[in-house]
């Protein structure tokens, strides 16, 4: 489910946010980005990181010199801010883009949510079946991340009632 659905979906969203041009939306680019997300056994992490840095440098350079001035995406906005004010630096641009590429949490969140729905077919039917309410889908989108978060969060509460001193 992760490899077939969650990772590719997240990959497409990252490409859209970064503004990866169509000519770079190919198997080599996907492989470079996916290797940082889910490295295959035997892949040299240093080489994968170097390949990613090279790709990000190409994207940044394309945003600086390309004709896509009307294009709306995060990397274009960051480059424009850099061109207008002198900040951020090339390294800061690359680092910001690199943060987006490392999207394990989003990929795993989608996977966990799909697994939760597959494990609860009655709930899944309420969201996808005849008469499914758009409001219920919106609520599910908001609540599913709380159900089984990949971040290891858990609910907690006070073990005893707090006592407040009035100072008298």
Query: What per-residue confidence (pLDDT) applies to 87?
Result: 65
Numbers of helices and strands, H then E, in the chain: 8, 0
> Is 100:14 a contact under the CB 8 Å cutoff?
yes
What pLDDT digit, counting tens, does each position of 71-84 carry?
A: 778 888 888 777 66
Average pLDDT over residues 9-21: 81
What pLDDT digit, counting tens, does each position of 102-140 carry?
A: 667 888 888 899 999 999 999 999 999 898 888 999 999
Q: Is residue 37 over pLDDT 70?
A: no
Please identify which residue in the block is written with the tokens 């490899």: 3
Nearest to 19 by CA among 80, 104, 83: 80
Helix 104-119 to helix 121-128 angle (10° resolution) is 100
Q: Is residue 32 over pLDDT 80?
A: no
Helix 90-101 to helix 27-37 angle (10° resolution) is 80
Of residues 24 and 94, the one with the higher pLDDT is 94
Mean pLDDT across the chain: 79
């Amino acid at each position: 489910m992760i490899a077939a659905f969650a990772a590719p979906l997240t990959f497409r969203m990252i490409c859209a946010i970064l503004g990866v041009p169509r000519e770079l939306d190919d198997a080599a680019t996907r492989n470079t980005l996916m290797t940082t997300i889910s490295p295959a056994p035997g892949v040299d992490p240093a080489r994968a990181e170097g390949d990613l840095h090279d790709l990000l440098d190409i994207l940044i350079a394309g945003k600086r010199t390309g004709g896509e001035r009307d294009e709306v995406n995060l990397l274009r906005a960051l480059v424009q801010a850099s061109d207008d004010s002198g900040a951020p630096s090339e390294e800061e641009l690359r680092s910001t883009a690199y943060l987006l590429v490392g999207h394990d949490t989003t990929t795993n969140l989608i996977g966990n949510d799909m697994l939760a729905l597959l494990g609860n077919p009655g709930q899944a039917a309420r969201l996808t079946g005849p008469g499914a309410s758009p409001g219920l889908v919106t609520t599910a989108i908001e609540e599913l991340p709380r159900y089984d978060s990949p971040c290891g969060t858990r609910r907690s509460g006070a073990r005893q009632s707090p006592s407040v001193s009035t100072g008298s």
